Amino acid sequence: MRVTTAQIQKFKQEGKRFAALTAYDVITAKLVDGAGIPIILVGDSLGMVVLGYDNTIPVTLDDIIHHTRAVVRGSSKAMVVADLPFMTYHKNPEQALDSAARCMQLGGAQAVKLEGGRVMAPTIRRLTDSGIAVMAHIGLTPQSVNQLGGFKAQGKTQAQALGLMEDALAVQDAGAFSVVLECIPAALARLVTQRLDIPTIGIGSGPDCDAEIQVVSDILGWFTDFQPRHTKRFAHLAEDAKSAIEEYVSEVRDQKFPTQEHSFTMDEEVVRDVEDAFPSS
C-alpha cells in the first residue's frame, strides 16, 4: 500500500522529518522507493534534466503523464505526485480539474502539485473538494521564471515575506495536504513551518522545514551542467558513467570485449553443417 496524505500529516504531528525526491523513470523510481522515500515527485524539472530545455515552461501535460506512468510502474510504496505543467491549470479551476484527472487516471498519480499561493487557493479548493490531493508550491515558482526575472530567492523584503506567509495560510485553508517552500530565507521558512498545520517541504529554504525535496539528478551528480546552491552531491554518477563508457570504448576497440564469456554457444556439428552448406570462397 502506498503512503497516504494522512501518513504525511502524521509525520508533521509527530515531528518526524522526512525526505522526498524527484524521479522520472522506472529505474530511478525503484531505487528511490526502495530507500523508503515517502513521496516521489514527477517534477516538471524533467524539462531541464531529462528533455534538455532551458527551463520548465516547455513541459507538456503529456510529458508529465508519460513519465508518471513510468514512476508508478517502478514504485509500490511511495506516494507519487505529478507536477501540473505551465498553463495546464491557470485558466480556471475546471482546467486544473481536467489536468489533474488526467494525471491520476492516465498517469496513475496519487496527488498533483501546482505553483501559486493566494491566487491559486480557489483552484486548490476545487481540486480538493473533488477528492484530489494537492501539494502546493510557493516562493520561487519556476514556471514564473520570466515574470520573476530569473531563478531568484523570494521573500527577502517585508512585503514579500508577509505575502508568502499569507500564501502559505491560504493554500492550507484551501485544503492542500503539504506545501513546497522553494528558495525562501531560512528564517521565514521556519516561521511558516511553525504556523502551519500541514507539512512544509523545503528546497533551498533552510533546515527547519518539516521535509526536504531535491532533484534526484542533482544529489546523485548525474546532471552536471550546473549545481544549484541549494543542493549537495551525495554521489558523482556522471563521472563514474563517463569513466565506464570510456573503458567500454577502449575494450571494444582493443578486442577485449566481448569475450566468449559474454557469448552464446552452439553445437559444433551444426557449425560444420553451416560451413559445408555455405563454403567460403
CA distance 233 to 5: 29
Q: What is the DSSP string of 178-227?
A: EEEEES--HHHHHHHHHH-SSPEEEESS-S-SSEEEE-HHHHTT---S--
Residue of 182, 212, 268, 269 marked catalytic: 182
- Cell digits of residue 42: 514527477
Distances (CA, A) of 51 to 47, 54, 56, 237: 5, 9, 10, 18
Report the interhelical angle of 121-129 vs 93-105 (nearest 10°): 50
CA distance 264 to 257: 14
Is the CB of residue 22 less than 8 Å from the CB of residue 11?
no
- Cell digits of residue 203: 528546497
Distances (CA, A) of 73 to 30, 62, 67: 9, 17, 10
Rg of the Cα atoms in the chain = 24
Q: In the annotation, is 251 catalytic?
A: no
Q: 241 Cβ partners below 8 Å, 6+ apart? A: 222
CA distance 24 to 45: 9
**Residues labelled as active-site residues:** 182
